[in-house]
Structure 1
């Protein structure tokens, strides 16, 4: 047997290092800050693996439907949401899960949500990913997405600086389907909406192509569970179940972008700035997070878990190979897209996870408004893509489903 090359040794060592980092990190966090927080880091790691191996992206799925009228990705999102609603609504209606109190992400509906979600939608297409997509593609070795992530964080901090002004604009009080219709009634209303959206994608796809796109055949063998790829619907089910696990452990659903604002604020203060007087940081919850270690912050710990989990998945698949040869226009798109993603998420009370996935799973009307406004932003973002990715028919090669 020939001796392994240095490159092969590195490729073999990455999954070992990633798995060790996730396990040791979870144990350390659990020992210092509590077992639940340690368990949530593991949940984050599993989310990263599912997102990567199932190529479960929101940005690509929306772009493909807008440009090609292929709706398989959107229908998978409806399956994910349907399972989440079936799991979440009874617990939210009761106010507790497994004996512990729980609450959902229910936010006001106003100008800031509409504008923020619209900006976020444009940023998805220019940045090359959403919140979850940015994390798992960056963790999976996409160097360009590290630029998007950096400016996602910068945009989040800017959004907190302007947050109070945006919240002074007209808005309706938060509306919860669980409170309005009860858990059972809210489930029925939600399932009808999911069915209507799925049926619309079927109609549009058949009108354009005559038949539905067939999902690629994936033989899920013994090693496939480690190396991927996984079926898209498996990803939809797994994400819903892991969000439910987050609800049980954290007492609230999965979120991502709140941590980006926190990381950026701490970085800004480390450089001599002061964000403590900004309106966003006046709430007791945000002020406490700003004063504490990021390792006490649930969202931060889960985000770190997602990055490590995606790194583990990419290395097991033999696809962890970062390339830093990025065209200048692509870098510019990542900067602009990242800023819009971060700024939009703060205005809209969340991203494709906190506002769309977890918002709708919480029964919040603002989650549905976010969906409509963000989709409109994606439509504009798709039209802007050729400016930055000329010669690629408006397509940006992204890692997996980004």
Structure 2
């Protein structure tokens, strides 16, 4: 799924059979080790994360790239795949949430000034590095230079955004609005269908179809997302886990977090104190990186050269990584946590996030060549 358009000179035959067996064995052994150390639930979550990474990288199914194709070429194939996958998750998630109100939660958040502004900035920044939250993880796992540069700054930005999240939400926000029950499901599916019809209408005739690999990816991602909801008790997310990594590092260095209304919450203090192997979002994030690594190693494709970008372009990638993390935290999620999981579990903020982030992506696409990042 590596959205930066670098063509790794992979060997036509990929890795050897023995090496591929070793990769599978190593992945399974790692999941079993996590299960033995932290519990079966956490080993299962790592496997789910590996599945996300393998699917996203293996089938080249991301978010930034498909949005870019819709904006530049009016090609909606990838976006249609997103809508299909969200619809499939919603068909299962709505009944699950209704039937297990004390056990499962949706990705519900309020719509506010900071949320909308953050989503806009996120959409812009993800086009600069050609990767969203999951995309940055996949790009890093596949050895993409831009992804490797952007990921640590994404994590720092997520930590900083959470540090003063309460200040941003105090600027003004609506109450959390979430659709539920049969009526909510029908409303969500209708909204997705309307968007699908609209993008098909905007597309030229030669682009009014969806590639088979996108259909396959949409179905697999939907199945994995439902498994994540059941096993984790919450929808698939990315951003919190990245910020948590930095929060743990800051605490380890003796940096006090009491000044943050968010990080000083007892629940967050508990997560900082506990192992990453018991944080559900961290496990799936690590799994995504590992899954992308497995696919790239399977293909024998770790030979990417540094792109010939200017210093301005590299600095832009760093700043965009910071912006991705910060903006997604104050927007209550990225393409995964807000758009994908928000809409599929009935949150109105997912729709607002989608509109604002897509508008930001339009500006990001136009800004890329001005920063030396290509057209």
Q: Same fold (TM over 0.5)?
A: yes
Residue 107 of structure 1 contacts residue 364 of structure 1 at CA under 8 Å; is this kept in 2?
A: yes
What does 1:306-385 align with in structure 2 at a 5 Å threshold?
Answer: 306-325=288-307, 327=309, 328-385=311-368
Cα deviation, residue 281, structure 1 = 1.1
RMSD: 2.1
Matches within 5 A, 1:228-243: 231-243=213-225
Task: Tell me which residue corresponds to 1:87.
Answer: 92
Alpha-carbon offset, residue 251 of structure 1 = 0.9
Find the partner of 1:139 among 120, 138, 141.
141
Take 1:315 and 1:55, find their aligned partners in 2: how far apart are those partners? 15
Q: Is the 8 A contact 1:18 1:308 kept in 2?
A: no
CA contact (8 A) 2:112 2:173 kept: yes
Contact 2:14 2:301 in 1 (8 A): no
Q: Deviations over 1:326-377 (max 9, x none)?
A: 5233322221210111001110111111111111111001111111111111
| Secondary structure class of the residue paired with 1:275 | coil
Match for 1:70 among 68, 75, 87?
Answer: 75
Match of 1:248 in 2: 230
Q: TM-score, normalised by structure 1?
A: 0.85
Post-superposition offset of 1:21:
3.7
Change (3 A) 1:321 1:103: same
Q: Which moved more, 1:346-355 or 1:13-22?
A: 13-22
CA offsets per residue over residues 118-161 of structure 1, 9 Å max, x none? 11111111122001111112111212211111110111122122
Where do residues 135-214 of structure 1 align in structure 2 (5 Å cutoff)? 135-178=137-180, 183-206=181-204, 210-212=205-207
Which whole-Å CA distance do the structure 1 matches of 2:60 and 2:226 have between them? 20
> Which residue of 53, 58, 66 corresponds with 1:61?
66
Superposed displacement of residue 20, structure 1? 3.7
Report deviation, 1:379. 1.1
Structure 2 residue corresponding to 1:129, chosen from 128, 131, 141:
131
Q: Tell me how far 1:89 sits from its aligned partner.
A: 0.4
TM-score, structure 2 as length reference: 0.91
Structure 2 unaligned residues grouped into runs of 5+: 1-10
Structure 1 stretches lacking a partner, 5+ long: 1-6, 219-230, 395-402
Q: Quick one: distance in 2 between partners of 1:340 and 1:187?
A: 33
SS in 1 for 2:263: helix
